[in-house]
Amino acid sequence: MNLAVPISVLLVEDHSLLRMGIKLSLSNEQSILIVGEACNGAEAIDKVAALNPDVVIMDLSMPVMDGLQSARILRQLGSHAKIIILSSHQEDSVVLSALSSGARGYVSKDLTDDNQLLNAIRAVQSGEIWLDPRIKNSMLKSSFELKNCDAQQSLDEATQLDIEQKDTVLSLRKVDCDFAPQYLHGLSSKFEYLNLLGRGGMSVVHKVRHRLLDKVFAIKFLSSALSTSDSLCKRFTLEAKITSHLNHPNIVNTHDYGIAPDGQPYLLMDFAEGPTIADVLTANGKVSESHARPIFKQIAEALNHAHSHGIMHRDVKPSNVILTRDEKGELRAKLLDFGLAKMTDYDNQSLTKTGQCAGSPLYMSPEQCRSSQLDERSDIYSFGCLMYEVICGRPPFRGSSAFDTMHMHVHDQPAEPDSELCSAALNQILHSCLQKDPSLRLSSSELVKLL
């Protein structure tokens, strides 16, 4: 690597004293240039677009938007900046979540060696994956104790690791495969663990078989590293309360909520197998109207059911709709992940801070972007964005940064869909759903009739 050209670094940390300390520790290193600072994930996304740094040092836990969500959005936006997560958490689950979110490095805030951060910056800039040595050794030690785990499954596909990191990838994959029994400790008499289904920044989902019912379910746990957060536990409990009111063939329904013996809260949900709409779009680019309309109608029916119970989803997007087959082999769309959902009856218990945006920028309503009061009509706008992308092969708005995209949602009009792709009738539906004024949008019940 040519050190004559400094590595440009964006420093993202909400604690000013820690930012100052990191800057001082790197100030004498000629190969590193701090080009900017940010105090939360949302600000970081905007500054990455403006400054185009080589490396982003990102705190994990921050207000407005955490480091994992910011890393995922940067990856979706195609940023080439290498992300290093800086955190006091050293649990395997958190490290794996960071890597799956797009991070290339993970450094503990408890720095015992001043050169660790410098080594991490140089390593990720040269294309390597870099883990704090203590964390890596702990994960490798755990991996040797695991049995009957398919280490060849492609974690590297999810994290885009380079082939020369094969040994590290396999070790991390082994830890990931056998992670579920740690959550299910004390529940093994009730559930048979089958495999990991997915992992996000806040939760992990596994496939299990209920021993007495002999039926397969999905079981969702709050990540162990976050289970000590009172507000996140309350949000997880609220998700259980909200989804317990829903029972619909086009929704991934919740069947039980409980606390494992080790204190971990969990949700027992329908197991639905199949690609998400996001997977279909990645593979095919777009979907013809004739094939898409039945799917749209089912999503509208799911939203109408939720809205009739006073429930807003608040995160309607292609990756939150899974396409599966029912008992007759017919295609069925299922709306999932009510983790950001809100119920009118629980408004006075709202866990979203004032001025905090909740949702995914490509599909957020104008009122979400402004952090205004929301109702069911916000879901209609997001659903309109989803339908537009399915038909046109692109979202209605995509700016150079998350903030640019949100600004477009508030102020701009989407391009007219190609008439060869979109009928006049569907175009009118899209036009209504994407109105800036919520009062001009169709209701979910009207959408069911029109679709």
Dump pLDDT digits (tens) for 373-391: 888 999 999 999 999 999 9
pLDDT reported for residue 139: 60
Choose from 99-108, 167-176, 181-190 the range with maximum mean pLDDT.
99-108
Give the span between the Cα atoms of 296 and 386, in whole angstroms.
9
Q: Which amino acid is at 214?
A: D
pLDDT reported for residue 437: 95
Pairing, β 82-87 against β 55-59: parallel
CB of 95 closer than 8 Å to CB of 131: yes
In 329-426, DSSP assigns E strands to 331-335, 342-343
Name the residue with higher pLDDT: 235 or 291. Answer: 291
For the chain, the helix, strand and coil percentages under 3-state DSSP, each to the nearest 5: 45, 20, 40
pLDDT at 441 over 90: yes
Question: Measuring CA to CA, which residue among 189, 160, 187, 197 is closest to residue 83?
Answer: 160
pLDDT reported for residue 151: 32
pLDDT reported for residue 101: 78
Provide the pLDDT confidence category of residue 10 given band limits of 50, 70 and 90: very high
Q: Give the range among 134-138, 268-272, 362-366, 403-407 with minimum mean pLDDT.
A: 134-138
Q: In terms of pTM, does the model score above 0.85?
A: no
pLDDT reported for residue 191: 87
CB of 315 closer than 8 Å to CB of 339: yes
In 281-320, DSSP assigns E strands to 311-312
pLDDT at 279 over 80: yes
Q: Which residue has the tokens 């949900």?
A: 269
pLDDT at 433 over 90: yes
pLDDT reported for residue 150: 35
CA distances from residue 302 to 219, 247, 411 in whole angstroms, order as listed: 21, 9, 29
pLDDT at 147 over 50: no
Q: Residues 322-329: what's their mean pLDDT?
A: 85
Q: Residues 120-127: what's their mean pLDDT?
A: 83
Dump pLDDT digits (tens) for 148-161: 333 333 333 333 33
pLDDT reported for residue 283: 83
Active site residues: 315
Dump pLDDT digits (tens) for 27-71: 777 788 899 999 888 888 888 988 889 999 998 888 777 888 888
Dump pLDDT digits (tens) for 335-367: 987 755 554 444 433 334 433 445 578 898 999
Provide the pLDDT confidence category of residue 282 given band limits of 50, 70 and 90: confident
pLDDT at 72 over 50: yes
Give the span between the Cα atoms of 275 and 286, in whole angstroms.
14
Provide the pLDDT confidence category of residue 162 given band limits of 50, 70 and 90: very low
Give the span between the Cα atoms of 87 and 422, in whole angstroms.
47
Pairing, β 105-108 against β 55-59: unpaired
pLDDT at 429 over 50: yes
Q: Residues 400-425: what's their mean pLDDT?
A: 90
